[in-house]
Amino acid sequence: MDIQKAVERLERSLLLLDRTSAWDVIFEVSSDTDPFETASALVSLTLERIGKDWEKGNLSLSQVYMSGVICEELIDQLLPPKSPTRIDQPNMGIAVLEDFHVLGKRIIFSVLRAGGFELEDLGHGISVNELVAKVSEKNIRVLLISVLMLPSALRVKELKEQLIESGVKIIVGGAPFRFDANLWKEVNADYCGHNPADAIRIVKQITSMS
């Protein structure tokens, strides 16, 4: 199916709160070769479009909210199961720093676990100090950070400063890093990814180096 048409159809279904037709679009798209990857990309593109329309004042926040809720339900039904084959790796964790946009973290968490990686879900809406405490308590060596708001993205710099001595590697992802391609370097992150495939590639790279 043409992805642009699928985005338009999914957007219409979400704004009408029509779960059945939203599911139909996802189902048709996910019959391709990599079902979860295609469906999560479709959800990201559609929510991004809805976010832009909200920014222009064409939609209300409640419409964005309900679209997010329905997408969470759809993604939950599609999430790949944890792989029984485990990979030898350093301790890893994932969190949404400060903000409450949880969908991206949920996708990255499941995709990595489906790929055989073990990682701790360190939560969302978490402050820099709380996260540093959790990282030390659980001896995390690779930390994945998902943020959707610019102020949260900027806090990564402070996080890195507090973790620099322990040598924890930070991988960042989420909308602010897509909007500004240099932001990850400005906040001193070690790596930046834009989708689940990037997350797997970067984690494999770090694992092969350790």
Taking the complex as a whole, how short is the minimal distance between the CB of residue 174 and ligand B12, in angstroms? Answer: 4
Contact 210, 188 (CB under 8 A): no
171, 140 contact by CB (below 8 A): no
Q: Which residue is nearest to ligand B12 (CB)?
A: 173
Q: How far is the CB of 141 from ligand B12 (least distance, A)?
A: 15
Residues 6+ away with beta carbon under 8 Å from 199: 108, 111, 112, 144, 171, 173, 193
**27: contact with ligand B12 by CB under 6 A:** no
Instruction: Select 92 or 132, whichever has its Cβ closest to ligand B12.
Output: 92
The answer to the question of residue 11 lying near ligand B12 (CB under 6 A) is no
Q: Is the dihedral of CA 115, 119, 123, 124 positive or negative?
A: negative
- Beta-bridge partners for 96: 124, 146
Would you count residue 68 as binding ligand B12 (CB under 6 A)? yes
Among 79, 149, 154, 206, binds ligand B12 (CB under 6 A): 149
Structure tokens at 75: 């993604």
* CA 109 to chain CA centroid, nearest Å: 8
Q: Identity (one letter) of the amino acid at 210?
A: S
Report which residue type is found at 62.
Answer: S
93 binds ligand B12 (CB under 6 A): no
Number of residues in contact with ligand B12 under rule CB under 6 A = 38
What does the per-residue mask of binding to ligand B12 show for 176-195, with x meaning CB under 6 A? -----------------xxx
What residues make contact with ligand B12 under the rule CB under 6 A?
40, 43-44, 47-48, 50-52, 55, 61, 64-65, 68, 72, 99-104, 107-108, 144, 146, 148-150, 171-175, 193-196, 198-199
